[in-house]
A and B are shown apart, each in its own frame.
Chain A
């Protein structure tokens, strides 16, 4: 009875901490600029099914991709057993679903293989990060917390899987000894190899060990639940909505800013009266002071903020970025991490100031992301193509350039010259427009 009470308390604590953090991230996402992505539903579901559920872009790198599928499948499917574990915990039962017989046995057997897959994959991932030291895990932005975060997750998964298998191994011994409460159920194709570790224990100690592993496992899972939304590992949830709201257009297509179009239309319309009173806004709408491009976190669209929270810092973007590859300051992954960190900061500021963000003298542009980084981008879309969950660091970079140019008139001198040339000669170079057809004579 007491153990059931402790269990229920633990479970509600875990879930409520998780929900609290999710609500925080949700508020942060809602701080973003509004855009309407409610269109093309069928295409969106399809993209999500392919990219998130089907992991289609992960396998572009086969080793990491296939290992990731092990962990992903293991995580999703083993969680089916969480249902039984939670029910057992609440009701004080043991292997509640074992009455279904052979199906139950084969399910448990399958879970064991999956657990082994997760364990091996995580071990390989740890080796790749810490022993082999793949370049993309060693970049500047990965120092300190991001690397620790990744290692914590991998070690936690290994411990959880070990506890899960040991729980089954001790259970199997208990069944064999015919101990009370231990129903003869399940099959243990993997954990049977762990039994030698525990077979020497007395009955009391064996039960203690089995209970210990059970509690360690569930406590671990709940801690993991609370930890995930604080971590890059949050991609396990956000990857789904993030791919649903993927950009469905050509990756090279940039949006045409509506606020600019309004101005240009006015300038191009000879009948327009520049002093006319603007038409009244439809009821309920507030005028949006046009601020061009992205200067701070709240200038990002909600989708871009969602992308920042979905990023799992795998660095595939950075590893294919021509600028990063030639030693430039730019790393697309860092752009995403900076956006997330700034949103965390802005969100905390908002929550401590009763729901209203108070100027803190910082900006995403300048305090997190430098102009040098922005000007290193070639807009080649390699980062967009490489991202396993369709994040676009390039979109944010180009939106920040818009702020630099249209808000601050800050551009490297040759860029200013290029603008002037286009304005005056209709070409980025200083050739007179009239000579545009000169090649015709040469032909």
Chain B
């Protein structure tokens, strides 16, 4: 009998120079070494024996989690790469995990494509890859495939990451942005605007010192608890860019309901309020990375709130308003002062006011 020898154990390549150069994107040994040393060693448990061009999934195994596949992608271009409460790597994992989780899916697999500006320190890259690996472990997902490109200095801002995620939705679960009905309660899972304020502070061009940390977190567990406590939940959206104001408008629009929120019930950290006061920004439009807007039937609102509050990522959760029979698509806010105003979509980006 002709026995084939077992394939030799693959030895992971190493990078010995401190800086990423265009050679690391050239497709040759330098690139393989960078991928091995930085990404594979962080993402894979030990050296995989064979590297294919694609990850492969057993359909029967996927089907044990549910009856529909959820598929999403997101790019991360945050500046600075490291900020109080997180970094671009953590953000790239949690962001895609949350995009799956808000659809009711169990997040399972991620891809990770990085575009690196030449001159990036390998050490920094390693820190980001390790942060992604840890975030993936915490979120219960595996990073199974990826891509690495290096571009000339100036062609990208230090580093961009794109993550794509696959999750599975269990049978019977039907969340939808168009499912909200008049009377439904609108909830959020905690203090709003922390991420946006933290990033603006961390950029340092405001000369403002504040101890605001990004709220960046994976919310799949919280959402599971919520759905168990409030099975009638209509819709969940993560309030990232554009803040809760944008999400509320999208929901009101898609569901053809009006939404009224109460400023007094809207959870805000004092530091974020102060930050917005000084710069003339509106916290309703500040980005979040660990906050969701939830619509549930009124009779399940208390159960939903209790479930949210029981989880660390739900501290400070609140019922902030209700859907109504007013003009479809219209979002209004009862102000703390006793007036009422319209909360519209933001036109472009939010710019600080002159005076």
Answer yes or no: do A and B interact.
no
Residues on B facing A (Cβ under 8 Å): none
Residues on A facing B (Cβ under 8 Å): none
